[in-house]
A and B are shown apart, each in its own frame.
Chain A
Amino acid sequence: MKFGRRHIISMKDFTRDEIDFILGRAIKMEDLLKNGTSDLLKGKILALLFYEPSTRTRMSFEAAMLRLGGDLLNLGSKEASSIAKGETLADTIRVISTYSDAIVLRHPSEGSARLASEFSSVPIINGGDGAGHHPTQTLLDLYTIKRESHLENLDIAIVGDLKYGRTVHSLAYALSRYGANITLVSPPQLTMPEQIKADLKIRGAQVSETENLEEIMGDIDVLYVTRIQKERFPDPTEYKKVAGAYKITPNLLENVRQDMIIMHPLPRVYEIDSSVDNSPHAKYFEQSFYGVPARMALLTIILGVEM
């Protein structure tokens, strides 16, 4: 399958075959990780442009590139770069794309990765654009589901901030490719945007909505929990009304399917009680680890490595 030099902007752009191809490559990367490192990307440079704070996305890309023998260019803090002088994103991308073989961009504005792709001479990887998309998080989410549960005939509940949560927007689009039975669980103020629900319907996805998490706990294979994101709320009082709307506790897990798994893109704040961490259902730290092989797979594919 040919991916060469392709921009990774939105999961909407992927076919199921393409996703399966990346997940298949991720399994090879996980095997490779068990044996140490490789030099598949020796001589290649990945630029990291993070205009917003990030721990897992940035460091797992760094780990992925280093495990593959490649090198990194890091923008560092905005304050220490030309961004502080008012340089446009377009100009920054024009320049950095001449220094590197691919660029990971995280930016607070929706559509920033799409814009970057218009000005870049190398592949742009969307590392999160405002409340828009986060396709590489979705790749690792799907990889986690594949490894810890099953992608076929999946019953999944997606819980929390579905309005501003870019990870769940991307995940829902991708799950629609697998015919998953998706239940959206959120407070009324944070429901999935109408246009995304309309898109999912057009794509033939099975989607239902509820505010009541307890009533569906026994019917799901995957519980995907997200944080209510304080930083995305224009009005702090609105945040206070919904903060803590859902909390996963051991009591809530009493009647779940034996092999049900709990996922979370992290960081978590109040949504999952730490007493759940030792439960066999908890897979969010494994999920975090899977980001490395998933991103190794993506990097090798878009940089043209045949395996």
Chain B
Amino acid sequence: MSIWEYANPVKFMKTTDKILPWTVGIAAITLIVGLVWGYFFVPAAENFGGSVKVIYVHVPAAMMAINIWVMMVVTSLIWLIRRHHVSALAAKAAAPIGAVMTLIALITGAVWGQPMWGTWWEWDPRLTSFLILFLFYLGYIALWAAVENPDTAADLTGVLSLVGGVFAVLSRYAANFWNQGLHQGATLSMDSEQHIADVYWFPLLLCLAGFIFFFLALVLIRTRTEVRARRLGAIQQRERMA
């Protein structure tokens, strides 16, 4: 018994069939509780007003936007090294979710930034690097769509995700250097002295967990769809051959 057994599509389908309802359930509960708590039972912050509540969507989405790319890099590496198809398909399945998360982070950021900074868009390092990340996602998805042979597509996008990851980080620091922007520093790091108040922190924690499970559920569903689509493709090809 090793973890690589789950690379077997049959085994993967069987296991996820059991896990999936739980993931969906946990995601729904944590998201509903976290968002309702955050939006209705948290006092409006002084000098921030009600608009601060956007963080319950903005921060988790931004976190996922980055981490989904990391997950794609890891699964692509597994595919490139050990050639497990499920791994490549999981990377493919995750990309559109990551793109949407990036978009959510950008839009909620704009909605938040408008009253806070008086502008919808500012060429601030964080905003800019997210825009670039969004471009990376678009390119990745487009490359998957453009290459016909699934194995070739998996290889090419795998290499793209690796190089793209390096450049996403590089762009982040380049943008930082290029313009010191308006965005506040990280307030959620565990070791930092300055910490947001617990009233805001707990629902946010729930929302973060909710987004993680929400992503897990989505990526499992999408990966299962990809596996099925692949099987269908194989069957169709066999019929054409016959």
Chains A and B belong together in one complex: no
Q: What residues of chain A have their CB less than 8 Å away from a CB belonging to chain B?
A: none
Q: What residues of chain B have their CB less than 8 Å away from a CB belonging to chain A?
A: none
